[in-house]
Amino acid sequence: MNAPAPLSRQMLNLAEPTDDGWFDRVRDHLDTILIDHAHLEKRAASTALSMIFRYTGRAGLARQLSAVVQEEMDHFSRMLDVLETRGVELIRLEPAPYASRLVKAVRPQEPYTFMDKLLVAGLIEARSCERFAILSENVEDPELAAFYRELFETEAMHYTLYTNLARDHFSKEEVKERLLELAKIEVEALRAGGSIPRLHSF
Ligand SMILES: [Fe+2]
Ligand SMILES: [Fe+2]
């Protein structure tokens, strides 16, 4: 199996890459990371579905996001398989403050709410994508490593899909500027979780 291609920060528009120590910090909590990841897939499906409800009529959005909903639900059910194989139960888990911090950065007036929701969703996909690449390179179970390699690719496409949707509806300059601002907030949101073992902690 080939290792994932090195991720460039520019490619994912992340303001800072994950440091080399992250996997070492979560290594002994892998089951917790997997539970957190299962919840994340469910939330990703829910985010895409809620945007379909809220932004009905925006050209191309429903079709593109319905594919995302289906893919995220597929990831969720495959995560349930992963947990079952390992004898781990999908328990409730206090989420990292990451997503709620990012949601707070969404501007309350339209059409900026729409732009920010797309870009925040894109950044969450980008960070997840980066973390999945790290997991694929480091987990010992070869099946799990292959699964993460596959997810890395899908989430990279989701990142592109969300940011392209923003560019379809707003000027490229506006999107670029706001993406830079939100990418900085994304790193602060990541730090807010401290070192609790979560997919989106520091
Ligand atoms: Fe996913
Ligand atoms: Fe995704």
Amino acid at 172: K
Domains of the chain by range and CATH?
27-192 (1.20.1260.10)
Q: Which ligand is nearest to the CA of 125?
A: 2
Could you tell me the distance, in angstroms and rounded to a whole number, from the CA of residue 81 to the centre of ligand 2? 18
Q: State residue 193's pLDDT score.
A: 85
What integer pLDDT is reported at residue 33 of this predicted model? 97
pLDDT at 46: 98
Q: According to the model, what pLDDT value does residue 1 have?
A: 47
pLDDT at 158: 96
pLDDT above 70 covers a percentage of the chain that reads 95
The answer to whether 128 and 40 have CB atoms below 8 angstroms apart is yes
CA 36 – ligand 2 centroid, Å: 14
Evaluate whether 79 touches 150 at the Cβ level (below 8 Å): no
Q: Give the residue from 25, 9, 26 showing the smallest Cα distance to 17.
A: 9
Rounded CA-CA distance 201/33 in Å is 10
pLDDT digits (tens, 9 = 90+) for 104-117: 999 999 999 999 99
How far does the centroid of ligand 1 lie from the alpha carbon of residue 40, in Å? Answer: 8
* pLDDT for res 152: 92
Task: Report, as ranges of residue numbers, the positions in the chain whose pLDDT lies below 70.
Answer: 1-10
* Ion ligand 1: residues, CB < 5 A: 41, 72, 75
Q: 120 alpha carbon to ligand 1 midpoint, in Å?
A: 15
